[in-house]
Chain A
Amino acid sequence: MLNECMNIIFVGHVDHGKSTVIGRLLAETNALPKGKLEKIKSFCERNAKPFEYAFLLDALSDEQAQGITIDIARCFFKTSKRKYLILDAPGHIEFLKNFVTGATNAEAAFLIIDANEGIQENTTRHAYMLSLLGIKQIVILINKMDLMNYAQPVFDEIKSQVDSYLKKINVEPVGYIPVSGRQGDNIASLSNKTPWYLGPTTLETLDKFNMQLIDEKQPFRMHVQDVYKFTNSGDNRRIIVGQINSGTIRVGDKVIFHPTGKLSTIKTIEVFNAPPCFSARMNQSIGLTLHEQIYIKRGDVISILNQSEPMIASILKVSLFWLGKNPLKLGKIYWFKLGTSKTKVVVDRINHVLNTSSLEVIKDTTEIKANQVGECILKLFTPIAYDNVSVNIAMGRFVLVDRYDITGGGIIVDHIIDDKALLQKKLSSRNFKWLTSDISLEEREQLFNQKSKLILITGDCEAELRKKIALKLERHLFSLGKFVYFIGIGNVKHALETSDSSNLNLADENLRRFREVLNILLDTGLIIIATAAKISSEDLNLIKMTTSHDNIFTVWLSSNTNKTELSEDDILYFNISDSLDELLLKINNLLQTKQNETLYSR
């Protein structure tokens, strides 16, 4: 027997016989507790009820309610090939949240259809969800064949109906099996009542399923989960960790980090309580050290040089399902998470909402309600790296977070080229060619006993006030022994004006140069205090992209706190009616709060 455990789910319309088939499977594989089967059979006899395999599961769930060990939510059984775990995936549409939670962990699914009732609403809905969730191994069990006298035409008719639906949603089922959960036909052994069906049985089909296939030729992908340096425990390794999405990585490989385009070489693969390791592959949670010490952060995607690269995009066409109590709304901002990468998004357009039974689309809508499926255009605040789901499923699916909760999930269908993605490409090629120092940013930060940080002072007040605050803050930090430097956007602007720049959009070019200068200065480990007028949310995103830094503290000085498009958590507002000293005190206090304390000590 293989030492593996495959997760499977049973889905289908209500009363099409899920529990009966599961009960029968458990009984046939001797997975039931001792005496259970006999106990229920005798109970049925005493109460003059016909015995049903579904009672087995009901009985188990009763026991569960009494706090005994067995739970219908997770049933284990085994065949001569391997262990199986049946996951709970409730079929009612109101429980889509739980359906998704159960189904996404399944390697294979059985879709059960009542031979008498044929395709019903949940049949198609579940099939559609399975395809959206990326479950490829689907078998259709046409159940209750005993009620239809095991008639082949009944089976063939349902089969052809299901097949034509599945074709439309690009699902290729592994097979169709005529079964009777109640009578046990074609479950564990081939039934003589269906001589026209030559096999395989349900159990044989199960054993033919594959665990997640490992394709050695797939290009390497890994999301950076974290970067460790346990210096306080006397460990100087700088270890980049993550779980490999696909492919294989080896010591000595040249790697690219996306979307920044930075380049480095794998020095070691770190392990604990294991022999030295020189290569690692899909699904392994690993730790890497690098030769060139570049700035890397959580969410970056690693690929290997000369293998195909992920796409970089910031406008995405997506198919998604919605789970939130509040509908997904046009124009609303959410968090978007793909692997460990995370950015804000705005819903730019809702193309349609889909009726998963008829596959009809409803256009001209401004929201997608709970348990609905639809297609949207999402605009990301900062570009991300992704792959087409057909090439690499884990790199092409995402979730949306509304405040504190995951409220939706989906797959990226396509992207639209836009200025931001083009800029990211340019930045990426700049980073790719960057001559990297041997000294890492972390080392510099350690020497300076501070975190490299950008304190951006902006707003619609007079330039003079911004400068005053900046200089006072610089002096204050300097007197605390910090390595700090003041730069105004004007310093860059004047350099630009002396060159021949008649064809350029001056304001844009000016800001671009400002961003590039900030990028270099931040790499020195300094605390930079920069001033610029009326920085917009978009400007701020561009600064984040250019410097690939999240460590930005933005101060907005204004006489009117409502006059900005910047969202609240990006920025701190200060009213200029306060005296200069009061302002400084407030800014300084906020700099010292928990999330910014690293500025003061490491």
Chain B
Amino acid sequence: MDQLEHLENKSIYLLREAYSQIKNLCMLWSIGKDSTVLLWLARKAFFGHVPFPLVHIDTSFKISEMITYRDKFALEWNLTMIIGQNKEAIHSKQTFPDGIIDRTQCCQSLKTTALKDTLNGKKPRYKLNHNTGNYELDSNNEPYTGVIVGIRSDEEGSRSKERYFSPRDEHNNWNIATQPPEFWNQYKTDFLPGSHIRIHPLLDWTELNIWEYIQRENIPTVSLYYDQGTGQRYRSLGCAPCTNPVCSSAKNPQEIIVELQSGRFANIAERSGRAQDNEIGGLEELRKEGYM
């Protein structure tokens, strides 16, 4: 078994464990490469089905190709697609692109708060109707008690401290000091009512592993990851106003793999194109509050 096969088989085990042990389960799909690999692994784990809803937090500032891609595959793969949004903030223009607040505050509001309210069912959820292709108000507002997330430990410091099954208290807070032990394929699957569990099946994967797997499995990904002739491509995807491309002429997964192996990006953080990380506090502050 090579490293990719090891990673794949472990991730599938974790996904099945989550599905078996946790009642109201959902998976976050940011449309980025990692959560798309995760979605693909779920299709493998459940033999072409995805037996839990996919949740996407729509900040309304995502690059439009991402939304087109999302809806195309949600229909094609028969996904239960759920959208959540902080409508109040967007309508009252309390956002960074509207010039009212800074980037960190904007992330907190449009992503973290929107996510919290969508997971606990306190704000409306919208569900894709496969007959019409439209999103309709979802009548189910039960809180999700398990959230599958595609974070990787090599992305940045705080993510490397994570567990595969990581408990969050009723305020969504992550307490690093009291993390549960995790060994011998045994995970924390029992938890206090009111708290929830985040499940991280991609924890051991690296950026390179992700691209090797996309290449090996031929997984469809958003075209934004590839150079379309401008000499630029996105290495990490987010909201249009806060995400910048990198200089690269890689046009497909194979060329990205070669580029990563060459060490060109060895000293440049993968999320360096994500402006919110560079503000004071950065990603670690965001994550304590519940950001992925």
Contacts and interface: CB of A to CB of B under 8 A. Distances in A.
A67 B272 CA distance: 12
Given A67-B157, A74-B160, A399 B9 contact: no
A403 B190 CA distance: 8
A105 to B, nearest CB: 8
A214 B163 CA distance: 27
Interface in B3-43: 3-4, 6, 8-10, 12-13, 16-17, 19-20, 43
Interface stretch (B119-127, B178-186, B221-229, B242-250): B178-186
Given A100-B183, A285-B16, A273 B217 contact: yes
Interface string B169-185: 00000000001111111
Interface residues of B, number: 54
B267 A33 contact: yes
Contacts of B46: 228, 230
B292 to A, nearest CB: 15
B258 to A, nearest CB: 15
A283 interface: yes
A249 to B, nearest CB: 15
A34 B186 CA distance: 38
Interface string A270-301: 11110000000001110100000000001000
Interface residues of A, number: 58
Contacts of A401: 190
A406 B180 contact: yes
Interface in A227-262: 228, 230, 233, 235, 237, 239, 241, 243
A409 B160 contact: no
A588 interface: no
B184 A104 contact: yes
B49 A235 contact: yes
Contacts, number: 136
Given A5-B3, A272-B47, A67 B156 contact: yes
A226 B47 contact: no
Contacts of A214: 1
Which of A33, A225, A237, A339 is most buried by chain B, counting CB atoms within 10 A of its CB? A225
Which of B48, B266, B282 is most buried by chain A, counting CB atoms within 10 A of its CB? B48
A404 B160 contact: no
B51 interface: yes
Contacts of B156: 67-69, 71
A225 B49 contact: no
26 contacts: A4-B2, A4-B3, A67-B156, A67-B284, A69-B270, A70-B157, A71-B160, A73-B160, A76-B154, A76-B206, A100-B183, A101-B181, A225-B16, A230-B51, A235-B47, A239-B47, A243-B9, A271-B47, A272-B48, A273-B44, A283-B6, A394-B185, A399-B186, A406-B182, A409-B183, A409-B186
Given A230-B49, A283-B1, 16 more contacts: A69-B270, A76-B206, A104-B184, A133-B183, A226-B16, A226-B20, A230-B51, A235-B47, A241-B16, A243-B13, A272-B47, A285-B45, A399-B184, A403-B190, A404-B190, A409-B183
Q: 4 nearest interchain CB pairs?
A: A104-B183, A285-B12, A64-B157, A71-B160
